[in-house]
Structure formats: structure tokens, C-alpha cells
Amino acid sequence: MINKPGNIVALMLTVFALSACYPSILVSQPEMEIIVTDESGVPLQGVTITLGTVEWHGTVAGQTLQTFSTDGEGKVEIEKKHVLAFQSMGTDGGKWYSWSLCVAKPGFEAIPARRLEFDHPMHIAMYASGAKSGCTWFEGGFGPRVKEREARWIEVEGGKWQSNLGVTLLMDELIRPAAEAAARAQGRKLRSWSEYRFQHQPRGTGIDPHLYVRAFCEAPEEFDLRKDFHMRTDGGTCFFETTFLNAQGTFAAFRMNPE
């Protein structure tokens, strides 16, 4: 018997139907353009950008890391790649990908990035740091972490509910661009981002959970930052406060201390 093309297609469709599987073209590596500068906007060459790619099979993940280096213009271009996958109709049989980045260079604090957008160039401004800084990667596909950044977030006792590391990591990633936009709108100039520390406290309950955030540059050594909020009335932009709206993943208006 000769297997004509039509018979072969029909046989494949029958097999897929019986096995509840279907073919799918997936993006295994996104197209990205990344531009890295210092805080003054000068391009940084030789920045190590690590792309973490997580291949998910239902709730089980396997992670691979790939490194790139910025050129003289502080730029890295990553090309898009695809794979053919046979997806299962079951609740735990699907295959998909997620990605995150770590940006690191000696003399600067490493920057993790988990919320990536691929439809426009990604601009990342690094800030100087005297401490050695780099990313470690969570097991299970949850991206990079930078312990120096996490140490600057301090939860104040007395909150309405218990915060967790995931919320802190999300706030840490979102607050800088939001604060910079607020400062520009108010005609202010922020300090170097490495100077800030952040106190936060969970407030609100039920459908309105939120976290009050207070940022400052320095505090007396004897002040217990976990017991109470530190206040600087003469701190200029070295002091600001806002509220992280946990349900929306955004920040409310920023109040910056007048000069």
C-alpha cells in the first residue's frame, strides 16, 4: 500500500487525537536588545548579561543559563529562537518558556530583571558599588536574586499580615523606575540609587492588601529600623514615601521631602 500525503496527514491527526497531543511552535529564546549605562548615561562595555531560560513542563521546570557581553555602545542583541513541541491536553502536560536576566559588572551592583518586555529596547542603568556583587539563581525557575539589594529592604513590625520574599523582590524591581518618573514629574533629582534603604510594612486586609514603603539614605546606628519607621524632615530626595498596591503591582503617588 502506498502512503499518500493525505493518508499520512490523516494518520498523524488520528494519532494526535488519540493521544490528546498537538504540535506547537514555541519561542525558546526571545529577541531582545539590551542597552546598559551607568547612572549618568555613559554606555558600559564588558557588562555580563546572563539570560536564564526556564523550560516548563506543567509545574516542573528546568533552567539553563547563557551569558552575553555588552559591546562598546553598552549593547547586547539576542536573537529569537523557536522549537517544535508536542503539547499535551492534560493539565500538567503543557510545555512553555519563561526568561529572566542578571546584569553584572565589577565595580557596580548587580541588577536582576524578571519582568521583561520584548517589544522595545531594554535600558538598564547600573550604579557603582564598592562591594563585590553578583546574582545567585533560585532553583525551580524563579530567576536571579542579589542579596545586597534584598538586605536594603527592612520589614517594620506591626503589619496587618506577613510579607514574603516574593513581594519584596517585586517591589525592589518596580520601585526604581516609578520613583525616577515621580522625581522627574516633580522637578527633583534622586540620589544615587545605591544610597537608599527601604522600610516597608504590610497594611490593608482582604481585597486591599498594600505595603507602605519609606525610603531613606541614612539612619542613626542606634535606631532599630525593624521596630519603627525612621523619619528625615530635612532629607530632600534622600527621603520619600509611597504605597505599593500589591493587588495591582503598582505604586501610589510618591511624596518626596522638600529640600
User: pLDDT (tens digit, 9 = 90+) per residue, 94-153?
Assistant: 888 999 999 999 999 999 999 898 999 999 999 998 888 999 998 776 789 999 899 999
Residue 89 and residue 141 in one domain: yes
Q: Which residues contact 250 (CB under 8 A, 6 or more apart)?
A: 174, 178, 244
Q: Which residues contact 57 (CB under 8 A, 6 or more apart)?
A: 92, 93, 94, 95
Angle at 253 between CA 179 and CA 202, to 5 degrees: 90
User: pLDDT (tens digit, 9 = 90+) per residue, 36-87?
Assistant: 999 999 999 999 999 999 998 877 788 999 999 999 999 999 999 999 988 7
pLDDT given for residue 16 in this prediction = 47
Domain-located, residue 9: no
Q: What is the CATH number of the domain that holds 109?
A: 2.60.40.1120
Domain-located, residue 142: yes
Surface-to-core class of residue 250, CB atoms within 10 Å of its CB (0-12 exposed, 13-18 middle, 19+ buried): exposed
Residue 204 and residue 136 in one domain: no
pLDDT given for residue 91 in this prediction = 58
Total number of domains in the chain:
2
Domain of residue 203, residue span? 152-259
Residue 107 and residue 198 in one domain: no
Residue 124 and residue 162 in one domain: no
Residue 70 and residue 87 in one domain: yes
Residue 43 and residue 67 in one domain: yes
The Cα-based distances of 78 to 66, 67, 101, 103, 121 in angstroms read: 11, 10, 12, 14, 11
Residue 193 and residue 78 in one domain: no
Q: Final residue of a domain: which of 146, 167, 189?
A: 146
Which residue is listed with cell 504590610?
202
The Cα-based distances of 15 to 3, 76, 94, 174, 226 in angstroms read: 16, 43, 17, 47, 61
Residue 92 and residue 27 in one domain: yes
User: pLDDT (tens digit, 9 = 90+) per residue, 198-233?
Assistant: 999 999 877 888 999 999 998 888 999 999 999 876
pLDDT given for residue 4 in this prediction = 57
Taking a C-beta distance cutoff of 8 angstroms, is the pair 198, 154 a contact? yes
SS3 sequence of 134-189: CCEECCCCCCEECHHHHCCEEECCCCCCCCCHHHHHHHHHHHHHHHHHHHHHCCCC
Q: Final residue of a domain: which of 122, 146, 170?
A: 146
Domain-located, residue 141: yes
Residue 136 and residue 166 in one domain: no
Taking a C-beta distance cutoff of 8 angstroms, is the pair 95, 82 a contact? no
Q: Is the pTM of this model over 0.85?
A: no
Q: Which residues contact 179 (CB under 8 A, 6 or more apart)?
A: 190, 215, 240, 242, 251, 254
Q: What is the CATH number of the domain that holds 204?
A: 3.10.450
Q: Which residues contact 198 (CB under 8 A, 6 or more apart)?
A: 152, 153, 154, 171, 172, 175, 213, 214, 215
Domain-located, residue 4: no
